[in-house]
Amino acid sequence: MAMRPWTDNVRYYEFTPVTIHYDLQLDAFFIARADVRSPAHPHRLGLVVAVTAADLRENRLTVQDGIRLGQTVLDRLLEQHRGVVDSLDASSVRVFDLAGVRIR
């Protein structure tokens, strides 16, 4: 996973099939991520999209397809959560599935 530079208080992470992260507790792969920072305080909000191997199989997706779908979901999540970062009292990370439902 490679980090892109900050653009308008958002930093995207680049995922490839060989750089996805596996989370044992969720039994899922992290396939998309962006961090949003607040101009008002030092706290950040991390938004992560995850997919399970079962989801990949059931939807007949390759990992690359999952990454593309994850990026689409992430863009939608960024729009929904951009305003939340200003009300944080600590940095946090939120994990969502491909449907955009928060799972952690």
- What's the pLDDT score for residue 40? 85
**Mean per-residue pLDDT over the chain, rounded:** 93
Read off the pLDDT of each residue in 6-11 and give the average, rounded to a whole number. 88
- For residues 83 and 60, the model is more confident at 60
- What's the pLDDT score for residue 39? 85
- What's the pLDDT score for residue 3? 82
- Three-state SS across the chain? CEECCCECCEEEEECCCCCCEEECCCCEEEEEEEEEECCCCCCEEEEEEEECHHHHHHCCCCHHHHHHHHHHHHHHHHHHHHHHHHHCCCCEEEEECCCCCECC
**pLDDT tens digits, residue range 18-64?**
999 999 999 999 999 999 998 888 899 999 999 998 899 999 999 99
- What's the pLDDT score for residue 46? 97
- What's the pLDDT score for residue 4? 82
- What's the pLDDT score for residue 19? 93
